């Protein structure tokens, strides 16, 4: 066997290919090109002097040597993730960067009030990530996550936050041109903007389909696109009350809607919750939501 030790990066690539079953999926997960992933796997196999994976009609499959190696690499990944989570807590002062992952609406809420948050966090830099999918806290994809449902697995600490309520809004230009928007005739006579079928379980889409008896006329795969179409006067849409109230070009047309909800939760990995800078940021994010609860949850 070659005396050169295998690269940790190559081992990580091997594990990604083994768990995803393809070079393409591993490349996407690792944010690398497919040729790079293929080259690094080849380099690892040459270093170890053994074939670890083989191409089959069902995708990349582990060889016997690969099956023996994979659990060891996964243990290394877990240990590396634990070290990454522990490292910030070794600092004497709560300085450095804290990464917050949230969905588009909650990211927007925090971004609009980031100056207020920063004022309470001298010496700490904030990375705010707008994610439709949940960030993996165990792998340090984020230090803090804001989620619209309480997690029921993993070693995490959770804190409930005031949850935004939603209503129907329209651009002033659209409402002026379509007076039906001001009455219950809006459901039959107005154009509606909402999610496409990739978000079939979205509470706003379910409500809209029940109310209209059909899919929205304009369908989007991201809430920011819905909001831009709403601002542009393409039709009516369901957005958080605080977001609509912040834009003078929008008119709220209904009281807050009674949409199905799983609550809003701040989630922190157990290994990070007591680290000074993460705890400080988490406390101030919670305080930010609580200070603005009347904006998030207007009574009428």
Cβ count within 10 A of residue 248: 7
96 vs 252, residue with greater confidence = 252
Percent of the chain with pLDDT over 90: 55
Look up the CATH number of the domain holding residue 56: 1.10.10.10
Burial label for 271, CB within 10 Å (0-12, 13-18, 19+), is buried
Residue 3 lies in a domain: no
Look up the CATH number of the domain holding residue 216: 3.40.190.10
| pLDDT (tens digit per residue) in 19-69 | 898 888 888 888 888 888 888 888 888 888 889 999 888 889 999 998 999
129 vs 3, residue with greater confidence = 129
Q: Are residues 199 and 121 in the same domain?
A: no
DSSP letter for 22, please: S
Q: Are residues 123 and 266 in the same domain?
A: yes
- Quote the CA–CA distance of 60 and 24 in Å, as a whole number: 11
Residue 191 lies in a domain: yes
Residue 2 reports pLDDT greater than 70: no
| pLDDT (tens digit per residue) in 176-231 | 999 999 999 999 999 999 999 888 888 999 999 999 999 999 999 999 999 999 99
Tell me the average pLDDT across 245-273: 92
As for how many domains the chain has, the answer is 3
Q: Are residues 154 and 285 in the same domain?
A: yes
Question: Quick one: pLDDT band at residue 139, thresholds 50, 70, 90?
Answer: confident
* Domain enclosing residue 28, as ranges: 8-87
| pLDDT (tens digit per residue) in 142-159 | 899 999 889 887 788 999
Q: Are residues 205 and 271 in the same domain?
A: no
Q: Are residues 78 and 227 in the same domain?
A: no
- Quote the CA–CA distance of 143 and 279 in Å, as a whole number: 10
Residue 91 reports pLDDT greater than 70: no
Tell me the average pLDDT across 126-143: 78
Q: Are residues 139 and 281 in the same domain?
A: yes
- Quote the CA–CA distance of 256 and 77 in Å, as a whole number: 46
Q: Are residues 77 and 224 in the same domain?
A: no
How confident is the prediction for the chain on average, in pLDDT? Answer: 88
Question: Quick one: pLDDT band at residue 1, thresholds 50, 70, 90?
Answer: very low
- Asked if 263 and 149 count as a contact pair (C-beta separation under 8 A), the reply is yes
Question: Quick one: pLDDT band at residue 115, thresholds 50, 70, 90?
Answer: very high
Residue 130 lies in a domain: yes
Residue appearing with tokens 């069902």:
58
Q: Are residues 105 and 236 in the same domain?
A: no
Residue 157 lies in a domain: yes
Residue 83 lies in a domain: yes
Long-range contacts of 218-222 (CB under 8 A, 24+ apart): 218/191, 218/192, 218/193, 218/194, 219/193, 219/194, 219/195, 220/193, 220/194, 220/195, 220/196, 221/195, 221/196, 222/104, 222/132
Question: Quick one: pLDDT band at residue 87, thresholds 50, 70, 90?
Answer: low
What's the pLDDT at 8? 82
Tell me the average pLDDT across 86-113: 80
Q: Does residue 260 sit in helix, strand or coil?
A: coil
What's the pLDDT at 83? 64
How many residues appear in the chain? 300
Q: Does residue 146 sit in helix, strand or coil?
A: strand
As beta bridge partners, residue 111 has none
Q: Are residues 277 and 154 in the same domain?
A: yes
Residue 1 lies in a domain: no
Tell me the average pLDDT across 113-129: 91
Q: Are residues 243 and 171 in the same domain?
A: yes
Q: Are residues 67 and 105 in the same domain?
A: no
């Amino acid at each position: 066997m070659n005396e050169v030790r295998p690269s940790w990066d190559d081992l990580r690539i091997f594990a990604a290919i083994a768990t995803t079953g393809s070079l393409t999926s591993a490349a996407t997960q690792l944010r690398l090109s497919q040729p790079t992933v293929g080259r690094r796997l080849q380099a690892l196999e040459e270093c170890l002097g053994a074939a670890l994976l083989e191409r089959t009609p069902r995708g990349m499959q582990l060889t016997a040597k690969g099956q023996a190696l994979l659990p060891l690499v996964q243990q290394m990944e877990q240990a590396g993730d634990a070290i990454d989570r522990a490292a910030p807590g070794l600092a004497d002062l709560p300085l450095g960067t804290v990464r917050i992952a949230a969905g588009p609406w909650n990211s927007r809420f925090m971004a609009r009030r980031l100056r207020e948050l920063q004022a309470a966090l001298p010496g700490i830099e904030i990375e705010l990530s707008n994610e439709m999918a949940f960030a993996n806290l165990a792998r340090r994809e984020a230090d803090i996550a804001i989620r619209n449902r309480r997690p029921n697995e993993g070693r995490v600490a959770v804190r409930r936050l005031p949850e935004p309520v939603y209503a129907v809004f329209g651009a002033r230009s659209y409402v002026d041109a379509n007076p039906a928007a001001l009455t219950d005739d809006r459901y039959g006579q107005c154009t509606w903007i909402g999610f496409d079928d990739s978000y079939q379980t979205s509470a706003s889409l379910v409500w809209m389909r029940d109310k209209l008896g059909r899919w929205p006329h304009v369908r989007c795969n991201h809430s920011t696109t819905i909001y831009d179409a709403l601002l542009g006067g393409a039709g009516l849409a369901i957005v958080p009350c605080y977001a609509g109230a912040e834009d003078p070009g929008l008119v709220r047309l209904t009281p807050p809607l009674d949409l199905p909800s799983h609550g809003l939760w701040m989630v922190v990995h157990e290994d990070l919750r007591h680290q000074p800078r993460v705890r400080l940021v988490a406390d101030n994010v919670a305080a930010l939501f609580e200070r603005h609860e009347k904006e998030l949850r207007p009574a009428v």
